[in-house]
Each structure stands twice: as structure tokens, then as C-alpha cells.
């Protein structure tokens, strides 16, 4: 899990990253960060949303009967994209653990055995 900006000693506002003092300003310069989450979903020629697996039905496909009178709902936050946004954590230990973030929305503590690759441990 990524550490919050305050824990890293940087002041952050969502969408902005602290760049340090600049132009004799006491507060420093805030600029937009380099990444942006894409909230769009691909749409087929017929106007139907395409899922992360590329599933789209033809205009006369019998499987479209379950969407009669309503629109097909597609989760726009694909897991592969969310995982890609997480930073890589490096460790000097061979065994690391994750406590799940705590609270009711977390998960039990999990221990992860790492493999050694090129004098560095990664997972």
C-alpha cells in the first residue's frame, strides 16, 4: 500500500504535487502531477459499452435479450488499470507483510515471501 504524502514529508493536494520553494515564494510552486486516471470506457459502433475483456454483442445477438429495457452496466475501474497505478515497494527483507489497512474494510494480515532477483527483492 502506498504511503500518504504526509508520511513522505511532502505536502499534497489531490492532483497536485509539492515541488518545493520557487521564485522566492514562501509556499513554493504547486503544479499538476504527470498522471491522470482515465474515466472513459470504450464504446462499440452500436453504442454499447465494451468490457475489459473486449466483450461486445452484435446488433442481433440473442444474448442482448437480458438488456432489453435497460442499459448494460460496465464497471469502469478495471483492476488491471488500478494495479498499474500503485507504486512499486522495495524491501531489504525476504519476508514482508501487509496488514490490509486496518478497520472493517481491510483484510487480515498477510505474509508474502519474496524472490531474490539481481541482488534486489521484488514482488
Cα separation, 80 vs 53, whole angstroms = 11
Q: Dig out the grid coordinates for 89 from the structure.
A: 515497494
Could you read off the pLDDT of 7-20 as tens digits, one per residue?
434 333 333 343 44
**Does this model's pTM top 0.85?**
no
Cα separation, 99 vs 49, whole angstroms = 36
Could you read off the pLDDT of 20-69 as tens digits, one per residue?
444 444 444 444 444 555 555 677 766 677 777 778 888 888 888 888 88
pLDDT for residue 77: 81
CB 33, CB 16: distance < 8 Å? yes
Amino acid at each position: 500500500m502506498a504511503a500518504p504524502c504526509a508520511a513522505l514529508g511532502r505536502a499534497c493536494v489531490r492532483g497536485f504535487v509539492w515541488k518545493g520553494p520557487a521564485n522566492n515564494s514562501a509556499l513554493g510552486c504547486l503544479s499538476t502531477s504527470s498522471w491522470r486516471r482515465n474515466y472513459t470506457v470504450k464504446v462499440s459502433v452500436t453504442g454499447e459499452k465494451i468490457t475489459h475483456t473486449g466483450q461486445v454483442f452484435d446488433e442481433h445477438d440473442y444474448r442482448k435479450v437480458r438488456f432489453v429495457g435497460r442499459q448494460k452496466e460496465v464497471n469502469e475501474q478495471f483492476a488491471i488499470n488500478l494495479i498499474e497505478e500503485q507504486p512499486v515497494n522495495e524491501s531489504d527483507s525476504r519476508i514482508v507483510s501487509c496488514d490490509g489497512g486496518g478497520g472493517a474494510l481491510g483484510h487480515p494480515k498477510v505474509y508474502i515471501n519474496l524472490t531474490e532477483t539481481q541482488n534486489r527483492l521484488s514482488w
